[in-house]
Amino acid sequence: MNPDDRRYTKEHEWVKVEGDGKARIGITAYAVEELGDVVYFELPNAGESVSQAQKFGEVESVKAVSDLFAPVSGEILEVNPELSNRPEAVNEDPWEKGWLLVVRLQDDAELGGTMSAQEYSDLTST
């Protein structure tokens, strides 16, 4: 089930607005299922910025490498420190433990271009 406390993109990222203008970003359980065992995240550093729909990193799984696309724009405040040592945390728990970035949300209006949990579920079940 896709939690309905966040928004989704067709590239299978989620974004959760957490107050104070912060937004947490991750990849969905569907994406993780498709990727299989994740062995490496290539992520930017705190202080850098991401732009909506632009590539911000890569995820290497045993099977393939995939680009990561930002669901919203903003300056990166935090990068999940656990992923550098235990990228498999995303396989275990993509919704909480396996988050990727926290950004300062640049423009609330960008969320309008994302999907609800229901819309995302419809997309991934077809």
Interface residues with other proteins (CB under 8 A) are 36-37, 39-40, 42, 58, 60, 62-65, 91
The least distance separating other proteins from the CB of residue 115, rounded to whole angstroms, comes to 25
The least distance separating other proteins from the CB of residue 59, rounded to whole angstroms, comes to 11
Nearer to other proteins, 39 or 46 (CB): 39
Largest CA distance in the chain: 38
Nearer to other proteins, 9 or 91 (CB): 91
Whole-angstrom distance, CA of residue 26 vs CA of residue 15: 7
The least distance separating other proteins from the CB of residue 119, rounded to whole angstroms, comes to 25
Nearer to other proteins, 3 or 36 (CB): 36
The least distance separating other proteins from the CB of residue 35, rounded to whole angstroms, comes to 11
| Residue with tokens 């498999």, as numbered in its chain | 88
Q: Are strands 38-42 and 13-19 parallel, antiparallel or unpaired?
A: unpaired
Extended strands (E) in the chain: 7-8, 13-19, 22-27, 38-42, 49-50, 55-61, 65-69, 74-79, 101-105
Q: Measuring CA to CA, which residue among 97, 108, 106 is closest to residue 26?
A: 97
Nearer to other proteins, 46 or 64 (CB): 64
